Structure formats: C-alpha cells, structure tokens
Amino acid sequence: MNTLFYSNTNFYNPVILNPATFSRIASCKEIWNEILSFYADLASDEYIKYLETYYRESLKRFGNHWWYFDIVNVLYTASKLLQPKNYLEIGVRRGRSVCTVAKACPSVDIYAFDLWVKNYADMDNPGPHLVEQELKKVSHSGKIQFYNGDSHETIPEFFSKNPSLSFDLITVDGDHSKDGAWKDLQNVIPRLSLGGIIVFDDISHPSHPYLLSVWKQALGDFPFLTGFEYTDLGYGVAYAIRKSN
C-alpha cells in the first residue's frame, strides 16, 4: 500500500501516513472538486441532493479554507491514497460509499454487508441490484460480493471461513445502537491491514450521541490505531490508520 515505507534499515515503523496529513489532503479544494465531478451521477435521494448543494455552497464561500469532513471525502481520499486491494463495508444502502471508493480505485474488490432494511432512515433502500448498477457508472472493474443479513452474524461467519483475509479499507456504518456498533468495530478492527484505514460514520448524529464514546473506546482497546474525529458540522465522521501490528 502507498502508506508503507521500507528501507534497508528501519528506525520507525513502516506506516508513513498520519491523520494530520490525511486530513489536509481530504479537506483540500482539489479533492472536493473531484468528488463533485461525479457526485451528482450517484443514485440520488433527498439527503444526497442536499449534500451536493451543501458542498458547493461551502466551497463557494470558503474555498480552500473550508474545513469539513464526512464519509464521502474521507472514503474518497482513503481510496485515492491507499489504492486498496479490497474493501469491506457494513451498511451499504444505496451504494454511495462503495461508489466513492470505486471511483478512486476502480479495481478494488468489495465485500458488502447489509440487512437491506426497507425505508431505512425514511428513504428507499432498493438492495444489491441498485448498488451493482451504481458501480457500473463509476467503471468498477473489481468484484463485488454481497452478504445479506445481520452483520453480527454474517461478519464472524465470513471471517471464520476466511481466517487469513485482511482489508486495506473498512467502513462501519451499519447498526447504530451502542452495543451493535461496538460489536461491529470489535469484529472488523483486527482484520485491518497494516497502514490500512477504518472509517466510522455518524459520530455526532443527534439520534446517536453515544457513537463518539463507542469510537473512543475502540481507540483505547486497539492501541495500534491512530485516529481522527470530526464533529464540528453535519453528522460527524471518524477514521483511524493502523500504525503497527
């Protein structure tokens, strides 16, 4: 991965990307312009339409001084920097996140876990077929595998069948209950590759104010992670880089 550096003699650990560097890249105007070049082509709903307007107006007013993060610029930047071989996502819905990843790295193999709850967050949730159609729009050339059901059951079952598989990029955006989100993080963090990035969404969502503490607990329990949290605007997002084994 592009986050690793090896020399004949290594004094530091090999991970050369840190959260501060990542954040500078993810918040720059160039990244947002790239995102806006394809964002309108994704399967739209009221929330996605709102966000596009929000992004454009903020860039218009503040330009390169705009300091804002959500799952879109975090995932797009992570995929652009890492060029991940594989990506695991819990909570797929209409495929906005997986398409963001695939746009930056079309060859990525995607492992998508979802319950496909109808009218999730009072919005349409059509299922895997729509996600496959959306991935074609961004010229995805890797494989996509769907695992339908409760992630607290499907993730452990998947890992038991794939005991040596690790992931360069992981998103946890499924069960938003305190115990459920914690269980998802516990299940996937050990499978994050060295130099890989894990993303955790909605840490300041007004309906789920406990998710930030869940994330903080994860950083404490898995000290090989170095993390970043954004709670200033929107629903918040967190990410962490695996800095050591």
pLDDT band of 124, cuts 50, 70, 90 = low
- Tokens 């390169």 sit on residue: 64
pLDDT band of 122, cuts 50, 70, 90 = low
Show the CA angle centred on residue 115, arms to residues 109 and 120, nearest 5°. 110
pLDDT band of 59, cuts 50, 70, 90 = very high
3-state secondary structure of 205: coil
Integer distance in angstroms from the first to the last C-alpha of the chain?
15
List domains and CATH numbers for the chain. 19-242 (3.40.50.150)
pLDDT band of 170, cuts 50, 70, 90 = very high
pLDDT on residue 123 = 56
Q: Could you tell me if residue 9 is left (phi over 0), alpha (psi between -120 and 50 degrees) or otherwise beta?
A: beta
Which two tokens mark 40?
């309108």
What whole-number percentage of the chain has pLDDT above 90?
Answer: 89
3-state secondary structure of 172: strand
pLDDT in tens, 219-231: 999 999 999 999 9
Pairwise pLDDT comparison (170 vs 44), residue with the higher score: 170
Show the CA angle centred on residue 205, arms to residues 202 and 209, nearest 5°. 105
pLDDT band of 65, cuts 50, 70, 90 = very high
